[in-house]
Structure 1
Amino acid sequence: MLTIFLSALALAVQTTPVPPQTTQLPPAIPPVSTPAKPVVEADLRPYVALVTDLGTITVRIETRRAPITATNFLRYVDAKRMDGFQFYRSTKSWGPANQLVQAGNRGDARKNFPPIAHEPTTTTGLTNCKGALSMARLNPGDATSDFFLLLSDIKGFDADAPGGDGAGFAVFGEIVAGADVAEAIFNAPISPTAGEGVMVGQMLEPKVTIKTARRVPAPAEVPQGCVVKAG
């Protein structure tokens, strides 16, 4: 009997199905979302070095916001027509709130390109702040080669200034290096008699010559600047 029982037990072990093994997988790990990096727009604005008798002033040109005025300025630079232009005016007589120096073609008028259309600050979103590079003019649309470098905020030059002419002066860049040189030009000697009208007492004597005007790489440390209006 024992032999029969053991034989039956062995047979049962051989014929009893083995339940399939199950493997417990760990819970799925959700993918880690990496925050998208902000897209930084490359700064492709040109820079120009104005090498003068008193030192070098580097300006940044707002080609995207003021394309007409900026293109006009760069046209003089690239054609080397600005070489020999002069800073000839300082508005020291206007007091500390209206400080600027003016430069342009004081020699051969044939170096001037045709006048350009006026770009008011209300269209460009730029403003006449300290350091601004603005186009000089008599009437909107007659600007050629003359420009201002502002050494103080002159908000009265903006197109929307209260009491202004509604057109203002077109900003198209700003000083990024050499502000001390612009100050030196502003403080240079003045002729007591030269000039006409409001310019009497504002004409530099001697004038400060722009020896060369060339495009240059952006300086190592470029200030954000002030000409772009906030908001």
Structure 2
Amino acid sequence: MKTFATACLAVLLTLPAAALAAPKKGGKPQASRLVPVVLRTEKGDIEIELDEARAPKTVRNFLMYLDAGLYEGGVFHRTVTPDNQPNSPVKIEVIQAGINPARQFEDKGPIPLERTKDTGLKHVDGVLSMARDTPDTATSDFFICLGDQPELDFGGKRNPDGQGFAAFGRVVKGMDVVRAIQQSPRTEQKLTPPIKILKAMRKQPTPKG
């Protein structure tokens, strides 16, 4: 069993960022298959939409952890910037988060990799994607892309296996918070201290009238 720190390091050294590609009908995903979620962090709120229609297995996995309260008390623990990847020929920009460190023992089994060539999702600015080591090893850690990251898509060179990462949602509000987290104090790629997730929940629709 990997330690939390070791797992985070292995995951993010191969980590890509992901984004949503435009769907074929009308330019927008079907609203009924977009799941709104709010991550309330120490730096502010990040509102996201999960694309259940195109990445169903990955979204169900994320919501399993969310609904169990495991992201509450979780942390953004890693930041990847242009200047802190000296050993990586292919540079990316992402921030990575995981479940509450005190509840790591509740991490579930790994899920199948939903490749971008199959989902049609791309690692663009604001996309959420799952951190992993080898294919089919993602569990609960996820990352958010800052800027477009095509090397994280299927066929990209960030991960030597070329399989890319599983994009499954996007930030719809709060990219200023994402950037603030990325620029927070760090030691190499480790955020020091990590940025806490105070609350993680499905967003309730605003009442009309």
- The normalised TM-score by structure 1 is 0.69
What corresponds to 1:67 in structure 2?
A: 56
Q: For 1:208, which of 189, 195, 198 is the aligned residue? A: 195
2:76/2:98 contact within 8 Å kept: yes
**CA shift for structure 1 position 167:** 1.1
Relative to its length, the structure with more strand (as a share) is 2
CA distance in 1, matches of 2:183, 2:194: 12
CA distance in 2, matches of 1:47, 1:151: 20
What corresponds to 1:151 in structure 2?
A: 146
CA distance in 2, matches of 1:202, 1:42: 37
CA distance in 2, matches of 1:182, 1:107: 24
- Equivalent position amino acid for 1:129 in 2: V
1:182 and 2:178 matched: yes
CA distance in 1, matches of 2:68, 2:103: 15
CA distance in 1, matches of 2:140, 2:107: 6
1:159/1:165 contact within 8 Å kept: no
Question: Percent same amino acid at aligned positions?
Answer: 37
- Which structure 2 residue ranges, 5 or more long, are not aligned? 1-25
2:130/2:143 contact within 8 Å kept: yes
- The normalised TM-score by structure 2 is 0.76
- Which structure 1 residue ranges, 5 or more long, are not aligned? 1-37, 192-200, 220-231
The RMSD of aligned alpha carbons is 2.3
What corresponds to 1:167 in structure 2?
A: 163
1:80 and 2:79 matched: no
**CA shift for structure 1 position 160:** 2.5
Runs of 4+ in 1 over 4 A off after TM superposition: none
CA distance in 2, matches of 1:204, 1:87: 8
- Equivalent position amino acid for 2:191 in 1: L
Change (3 A) 1:173 1:190: same
**Corresponding pairs, count:** 172
CA distance in 2, matches of 1:157, 1:72: 20
**CA shift for structure 1 position 155:** 0.5
Report matched runs for 1:70-149 at 5 Å. 70-92=59-81, 93-94=84-85, 98-105=92-99, 106-149=101-144
CA distance in 2, matches of 1:185, 1:71: 26
- Equivalent position amino acid for 1:80 in 2: G
Residues 53-104 of structure 1 deviation map (CA, whole Å, 9 limit, x = unaligned): 1111011001010000011001111111111110000112249x62110000
**CA shift for structure 1 position 141:** 0.8
CA distance in 1, matches of 2:184, 2:29: 40
